[in-house]
């Protein structure tokens, strides 16, 4: 795993405790070093501080999400709730406020790694799923609409893939929080915001839906537009020259 922390005391303490727990650890003190490490090496997890000397950790998170889906735990002294929500929505997998105990960190790491090891909510079955003109490839994390690449964030793809594999099924907000966000509770606004972004990329609106249909007080479902032909059809994965989400 990669520890991104500019405070030498905190960094050495994290390295020591993580190494004692049998983790292989690399560490850097700047955002740019972190991006170079992630681009060159495979990591199971990134522990990211926000107060970095060259680039704020929130910007570093955005850049990391542009090149990798590695789980990221934010570890920082900032405890503003709005900031926490913003970073979780921006792609962080968890958020720890300093000071925290080693046992607390270890438990959060184990939970995040379990979710990552299970393949996340986007890949419960093999093969490509087609719903109308929508194609979703969970294994390669690729999505296309009418043959055109969809430029989706990690969370948008997870949401789309989860719904696409349950076409026509109304999924409750509670289930979305549990299966896509891996949270037992949360703010409905988080789901609404991501649905809004996803709708925009699918070329629709809440008032004029094509694929995503919200049933007020019940949940949301994904189904092909009227007259779009049959529902989902598992097919062989396309060649690697295809588009990535």
What is the phi/psi pair of residue 100, to 5°? -135, 155
Q: Which residue has the tokens 């979710």?
A: 115
The tens digit of pLDDT for each residue in 207-227 reads 999 999 998 888 899 999 876
Residue 29 has pLDDT above 90, yes or no: yes
d(CA 25, CA 37) in angstroms, rounded, equals: 12
Decide: 232 and 129 in contact? Cβ < 8 Å.
Answer: yes
Average pLDDT of every residue of the chain = 82
Residue carrying the six token digits 């390669």: 140
What DSSP assignment string belongs to 68-130?
----EEEEES---HHHHHHHHHTT-SEEEESS--HHHHHHHHHHHHHHHHTT-TT-SS-SBEE
The domains of the chain, with CATH numbers, are 2-117 (3.40.50.2300), 129-222 (1.10.10.10)
For residues 45-57, average pLDDT:
91
Backbone angles phi, psi at 54, to 5 degrees: -100, -25
Residue-wise pLDDT tens digits, 162-207: 999 888 888 888 888 888 887 766 667 788 889 999 999 999 999 9
Instruction: Name the DSSP class of 160.
Output: H
pTM tops 0.85, yes or no: no
pLDDT one-digit tens code per residue, 93-143:
899 988 888 888 888 888 887 766 544 443 334 468 899 999 998 878 889
Helix residue spans in 2-77 (DSSP H): 8-20, 31-40, 57-67
Are the beta carbons of 88 and 79 closer than 8 angstroms?
no
Residues 101, 94: Cα–Cα separation, whole Å: 15
Tell me the residue length of the chain.
245
Helix (H, G, I), strand (E, B) or coil at 161: helix
State residue 146's pLDDT score.
92
Q: Are 13 and 98 in contact (CB under 8 A)?
A: no
Residue 194 CB: number of other CB atoms within 10 A? 20
């Amino acid at each position: 795993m990669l520890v991104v922390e500019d405070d030498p005391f905190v960094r050495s303490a994290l390295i020591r405790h993580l190494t004692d727990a049998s983790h292989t650890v690399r560490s850097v003190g700047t955002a740019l070093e972190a991006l170079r490490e992630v681009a060159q090496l495979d990591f199971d997890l990134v522990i990211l501080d926000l107060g970095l000397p060259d680039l704020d950790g929130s910007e570093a998170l955005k850049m990391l999400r542009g090149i990798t889906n590695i789980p990221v735990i934010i570890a920082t002294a900032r405890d503003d709730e709005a900031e926490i929500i913003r970073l979780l929505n921006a792609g962080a997998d968890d958020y720890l406020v300093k000071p925290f105990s080693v046992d607390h960190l270890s438990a959060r790491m184990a939970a995040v790694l379990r979710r990552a090891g299970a393949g996340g909510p986007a890949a419960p079955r093999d093969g490509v799923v087609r719903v109308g003109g929508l194609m979703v490839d969970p294994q390669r994390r690729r999505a296309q609409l009418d043959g055109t690449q969809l430029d989706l964030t990690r969370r948008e793809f997870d949401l789309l893939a989860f719904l696409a594999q349950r076409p026509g099924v109304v999924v409750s907000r509670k289930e979305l929080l549990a299966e896509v966000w891996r949270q037992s509770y949360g703010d409905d606004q988080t789901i609404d915001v991501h649905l809004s972004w996803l709708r925009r990329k699918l070329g629709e609106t809440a008032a004029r839906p094509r694929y995503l249909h919200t049933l007020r007080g019940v949940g949301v479902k994904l189904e092909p537009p009227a007259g779009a032909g049959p529902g989902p059809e598992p097919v062989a994965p396309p060649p690697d020259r295809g588009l990535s989400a």
